[in-house]
Chain A
Amino acid sequence: MDAKDILGLPKTSFPAPQEKKSRPQKDSQRKPDGISREVYALTGGLAPIMPAIDVSHLKKRTQSEKGKVTWQWLPFTSSARKDNLQLYHWVRVVNGVPPTGDYSFAKYNKSVDIIKYTDEEYEKYLTDPMWTKEETDQLFDLCERFDLRFIVIADRFPSSRTVEELKNRYYSVSRAIIVARAPSPADVAGHPLVKEPYNVSQEVERKRALSMVLSQTKQQERKDAEVLAEAKRITESRMLAKGAEEAELRAASGVAPESTERVTTAAESVSPSSNNQQQSGVVATTATADASSTPASLRMLRVYLRTTVLEQMVQAASSSAGLRTIKRVDQFLQDLGVNIKPKVPTKAVCAEHLELRKEILTLLNLQKQLQYKEAESSSHRDSSYAEAASTPKRLHRGGDQDRSFIPSSINFGGERVGKREHKRKVPGRFSDVPPSPPQSSKRPRKLKASD
């Protein structure tokens, strides 16, 4: 509708009683005789009989009902400006009458009402050891100019003060003035500044905590989540156990908010959502109690099953390994005849079990490394063929053996490798001849010329 308005078109379209006119035209435009209609159409044929588009809808520039609309480039002023600057813009003029009224965006020029104090008021109510009158005046001036945008104000403030300090000063001054000027305290009790004074320390802490949360690494996040879950459990169990005593405590805790903040800022802290000071006490102590063989979260439990510990430690040990590796470890254990979960989990057994698992992991890693090395060295070997002089004595390279590490067929054929070492030490040349491996190797290898 706006588009039509701009163009000056009518909003509703006319009905088009034009069919009668086009009919006589049709008669003179009949197709020639002798060929069928469709064939004639192929050659281009006649124009369509009925107009496809109602012509009356197009290009109708009738007079707009409102009158003549033009657009003119006219000057304007805005009440929002104080300097009577004249700017120009396009204006929709109807019948030669330009629109009246203020610049339409002037109404958005809002500003904050900053309290203005007199010097006497300053002397009486507002002096502060940390702030000179000059600074306070500057602050208020900036506040007015920048509409209480404290970040900007802090940037432009001549001496360096933190945002919180500036806010604190501004709000306490305003509050003092409001209270001082009020005829009675009751009048202003509802004023937001009076009701909720600005609390600097709380603000500082809050921002610090926020930035800490923002800059947490993923690990810390995980740890925190863990500790949080533990704390929740502790809270819940303590709630169950000591309902009445907690009610007492809560009544006495004016300390709670501070303790809340302190605990949030502790290193491995937990958010004490409840006012349960005992809970936060326990958490704080356990946060300090670290460096023990059992994981911190379990120590907090005070009582746990040994199998749970074992599971956790197994998980911790294999955390770097993928799922497949873990399965291989389990398989290995089975092949060795050891239960994946020990049947008699005493302390000694659990310790041994864990050690065994770690050793198996090392073993598997070594195997992988060995395979990589062999891959490297075999590709190395291939590239050096041109210069290779055969040295028949240099046969079995230890590395070619035992590619298939099947646990059940533990092959202690390593002794042969040891012997070969001696021979290789004698001639120090690099040129090597790859021998045929004693066992079939699993990996496909390129054919070696000397085989």
Chain B
Amino acid sequence: MPHTSSARKHGGDQSEGSGSVLKSQRAKMGGIANDSEKKGSSKRLKDVEISVPIVYGTVSFWLGKRASEYNSHKWTVYVRGTTNEDLGVVIRRAVFQLHTSFNNPTRVVDSPPFELSESGWGEFEIAITLYFHSDVCDKQLDLYHHLKLYPEDDSGPQSTKKPVVVESYDEIVFSEPSESFFARVQNHPAVIVPRLPATFNLPPPAPIDNVNEKKKGDTKDHTLSQWFMTFSEADELLKLAAARQQVQAYIVKLRRQMSLIDGQPQQSLPTSGH
């Protein structure tokens, strides 16, 4: 992967440190003297992208006997890592925007695991806004998820034991990440980091320890983890590959037929078939 960060690495140490330093550096850049230097202080890696696979969705339980007209289901909306790793390295805060009929419909979650539990009776669209750490990205990202309370097949009574689970897989892609971000997460299990050819002097990642001191942010032992869906890309890849093969064979056949037709009216011998 080509990148020209080696020239900038000497400045790398300066940009490390608190996010406020970074901010003040940016603030001091007055005037557009030099377009390319604009990103200088944050030292971005060109042509590199870091992707964070996430799963977001809802799990909803019927309350059974305890259900009332306005409170029939208990549900949880969450954003988790695909393999249940801690997303706190990347995400600083998640804001769940609920239906206006809820008290304080804007719910802010500042630490992982990023989830929210509520109870209610209606299905609506939940807007999830993810805010990232300052060295990751300034912009927020919006996700939308429709809360589903009732199972697809209306058959039979609902069970309080089996929830209705709807999850969506997606990947957050950070293009041109900053060096500091890259260094921080390069060995983290939640993040997919491409291999750089010669890992130039990136500061080594902070050791992922102090688990006892920090609250656990991953969802590995989550109460709901038994309901989490698994997403395997191998399956999909296989299907896609098979489909492509079929289509390609088809194309070959068609091309052959076309050349035949071309061959006749012009009295010219068809060129050797495909």
Contact = CB atoms under 8 A, between A and B. Distances in A.
Nearest to B52: A303
B263 interface: yes
Interface string B172-189: 111110000000000000
Contacts of B100: none
A299 B175 CA distance: 6
Contact of B32 (A280, A306, A430): A280
Contacts of A277: 29-32
Contacts of A67: none
A25 interface: no
Interface string A277-313: 1101110110011001010001101111111010000
Contacts of A253: 30-31
Given A284-B35, A347-B51, 15 more contacts: A234-B139, A255-B30, A277-B29, A282-B38, A289-B46, A294-B175, A304-B173, A344-B231, A352-B244, A355-B244, A370-B258, A401-B257, A410-B246, A412-B249, A424-B263
Given A356-B240, A421-B273, A428-B267, A303 B137 contact: yes
Contacts of B249: 412
A248 interface: yes
B174 A366 contact: no
Interface string B5-40: 000000000000000000100110111100110110
Contacts of A245: 23, 26-27
Contacts of A238: 138
A263 B250 CA distance: 50
15 contacts: A237-B139, A237-B140, A255-B31, A277-B29, A281-B35, A288-B36, A299-B176, A302-B138, A303-B139, A347-B171, A352-B244, A356-B243, A399-B260, A421-B260, A430-B265
Interface in B158-181: 169-176
Most buried by A among B139, B242, B270: B139
Most buried by A among B46, B242, B264: B264
A410 B68 CA distance: 55
Contacts of B140: 237
Nearest to A359: B247
Interface in A245-264: 245, 248-249, 252-253, 255, 259, 262-263
B89 to A, nearest CB: 14
A320 B27 CA distance: 44
B251 A306 contact: no
Nearest to A293: B47
Given A301-B139, A307-B170, A399 B257 contact: yes
B171 A278 contact: no
Contacts of A234: 139
A344 B232 contact: yes
B29 A281 contact: yes
A402 B253 CA distance: 11
A377 B265 contact: yes
A241 B138 contact: yes
How many residues of B sit at the interface, in one of the four size bands?
35 or more
Q: Is the interface of A mostly helix, strand, loop or mixed?
A: helix
Given A249-B30, A336-B246, A347-B51, A302 B38 contact: no
A414 B252 CA distance: 10
A367 interface: yes
Contacts, number: 200
B233 interface: yes
B269 interface: yes
Given A305-B141, A421-B260, A338 B39 contact: no
A440 B59 CA distance: 54
A262 B233 CA distance: 47
Interface of B: 23, 26-27, 29-32, 35-36, 38-39, 46-47, 51, 53, 132, 136-141, 143, 169-176, 231-233, 235-237, 239-244, 246-251, 253-258, 260-265, 267, 269-270, 273
A432 interface: yes
Most buried by A among B141, B240, B243, B249: B240
A342 interface: yes
Interface string A337-357: 111001111111100110110
B254 A377 contact: no
Contact of B253 (A252, A412, A420): A412
Contacts of B239: 337-338
Contacts of B137: 302-303
Contacts of A305: 141, 143, 170-173
B30 A366 contact: no
Contact of A242 (B23, B170, B247, B267): B23
Nearest to B266: A430
Nearest to B178: A302
A373 interface: yes
B257 A417 contact: yes
Contacts of A418: 256, 273
